[in-house]
Amino acid sequence: MTPAVLERPTMTTNYPDIAPGTHTPVRPTLEQMHLPLGKKTRLHRMLHQHGPGNGTLLFLPIDQGLEHGPMDFFVNPPCGDPHYQCQLAAKGNYSAVVFHVGIAEKYMPYYAGHVPLVLKINGKTCVPNDDAAFSPLTSMVEDAVRLGADAIGYTLYVGSPSQAEDIRQFNEVRRECEVLGMPIIMWAYPRGEFINEKGGKDSLYAIDYAARVASELGADIVKINYPKVETSTKANTPKPYNDLQWEEAEAVRQVVRSAGSQTMVVFSGGSKVDDAEMMNMVRLGMDNGGTGLIYGRNMWQRPMNEALDTTQKVTAVMREY
C-alpha cells in the first residue's frame, strides 16, 4: 500500500505595501508585527483600550524634570506636582504616561489600572555638555514589570561619541525585555559633534538615520522628532540628502519608511507651540504613516481645562486614522 503523501502547509502572509516610490508607508498593526505574546498584550492595552483606541498612540511624558530640570514647570506651576499629569492622563484618556522610576513609585499607585505607564529606564540631566551624550540606566526592566508598566522607554543618542557604550547598554535592556515580554520604545536622538558636522540633529539625514538605528537595534516603537527640511540641504549634509528638495510630508514619509513595517513611529511634540501649528503637526505625522504622538509641554504647560480641550481636539483628529 502506497503511503499517503503529506502536503506541506501553505504559509499565509499579510504583507504590508512595500512598493517603491513616494507612497505613504502603511502604518504597522499588531497583527502584522512579529511580537511575542507579552509584548502584544501590553501594546494592545495602549493601542486599543486607552488613548484614541483605534490602533494609534497618544503619550503624555513627564521625564523633563530630570532631563531639563524644574524650569519647565514655571510656565504652569501646578504641573510641578506629578498628580497634575496623572489627572490629565486619566481625564484625557491618554494611551500612557511616561515617568522615571521615582515618580512612578510615588504617584502611579493612585492611578493603577486607569492610566497605563511607560517606565523611562535611562536618563541624564542637561547640566553637562551633550556632545558626548549618554544616558545611564536609572532603573531596570524588572522595575517596569513590578510597577505594572506596559512598555519601557530608552533614550539612545545616535552618533554620539558615547554611542558604543550606549548600544552595549541597550542590548542588555533589549535582552531583558525579550525575556519579560516588555515592549521597547526608543527615544532615538541624533546628538554630538559628528552629527553637527553632517547637517545637525534636526536634518533629514540625522532623523532618518536615527529611525533606522532604532529598528535595527530591536525597538518596537521609535520616538523621533520631525525632520526640518530647511536644514537638510546644507553643504556638509551627506549625499544624497543634500540634494533632496523634498517638502515636509515627503521627509516624514521617508523616516517612517526607514523605520520599516515592523516598527511603529511616534513623533515628538517638542516645546510648546500655538494650537494651529500643533494641529498641523498632528496631521503631518498621522497623514504620513506615523502611529502616534507624544505631547508633554504642549499639554501640561496649559491650565487643566485648556489642556483637556486641546487633548480632545488632538484625539478627535487621531480617531480619523
So which residues are the catalytic ones?
Answer: 189, 223
> In degrees, to the nearest 5, what angle opens at C-alpha 55 toward C-alphas 49 and 61?
75
**CA dist., res. 120 & res. 99, Å (int):** 6
Q: What amino acid is encoded at 131 in this protein?
A: D
Task: Give me the sign of the Cα torsion angle 127, 187, 104, 51.
Answer: positive
Smallest CA-to-CA distance from 96 within 143, 141, 124, 63 is with 63
**CA dist., res. 303 & res. 318, Å (int):** 22
Contact 203, 166 (CB under 8 A): no
The H or E element containing residue 120 is strand 117-120
The set of residues, in sequence order, having a beta carbon less than 8 Å from that of 257 and lying 6+ positions away, is: 25, 289
**CA dist., res. 280 & res. 82, Å (int):** 28
Residue with cell 504622538: 293
Q: What amino acid is encoded at 142 in this protein?
A: E
Distance of CA 321 to the CA centre of its chain: 18
Cell numbers linked to 173: 535592556
**CA dist., res. 157 & res. 97, Å (int):** 22
**CA dist., res. 60 & res. 98, Å (int):** 6
DSSP state of 137: B
Cell numbers linked to 60: 503624555
